[in-house]
C-alpha cells in the first residue's frame, strides 16, 4: 500500500527532476523522488545532467 503511494516511474521521476529546478516540490513529491533516486542509477545520472546543464548554460556568456 505504502509502496504504491511512494513508487514512481522513471518517466515521472524525470518530470520532477526538471520541475524541481523551477518550483518548490511538495513534500510527497520530494519523498517520491528521493526514494526513486536511491533505487535508480539511471535517473540519478539524469539528475546530475540536468544540474550540469543549468550551470553550463549560465556560462554561455563567459
Partner 1 sequence: MSTHSLQQAVGELQPILLRIARLQLRNDTWAEDAVSETLISALEGVDRFSGQSQLKTWVVGILKHKIIDQFRRAGREISMEAIAEAAQVESFDDLYTPDDHRVNEPLDWGDPESAYSRVQFFDILQICVDELPPALARVFMMREWLELDTAQICKEVGITSTNCFVMLHRARMRLRECLELRWFAAEARAR
For partner 1, the binding residues (CB under 8 A) are 9-12, 14-15, 18-19, 21-23, 42-43, 45-46, 48-50, 52-61
The CB-of-43 to partner 1 minimum distance in angstroms stands at 8
Detail the DSSP E strand segments found in 1-62: none
Q: How far is the CB of 34 from partner 1 (least distance, A)?
A: 18
Rounded to the nearest angstrom, the gap between the alpha carbon of residue 2 and the centroid of all alpha carbons in its chain is 20
Please report how close the Cβ of residue 40 comes to partner 1 at its closest, in angstroms.
9
Q: And the C-alpha cell for 1?
A: 500500500
Q: Which residues contact 54 (CB under 8 A, 6 or more apart)?
A: 21
Amino acid at each position: 500500500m505504502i509502496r504504491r503511494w511512494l513508487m514512481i516511474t522513471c518517466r515521472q521521476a524525470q518530470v520532477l527532476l526538471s520541475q524541481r529546478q523551477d518550483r518548490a516540490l511538495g513534500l510527497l513529491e520530494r519523498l517520491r523522488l528521493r526514494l526513486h533516486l536511491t533505487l535508480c542509477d539511471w535517473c540519478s545520472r539524469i539528475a546530475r545532467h540536468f544540474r550540469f546543464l543549468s550551470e553550463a548554460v549560465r556560462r554561455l556568456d563567459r
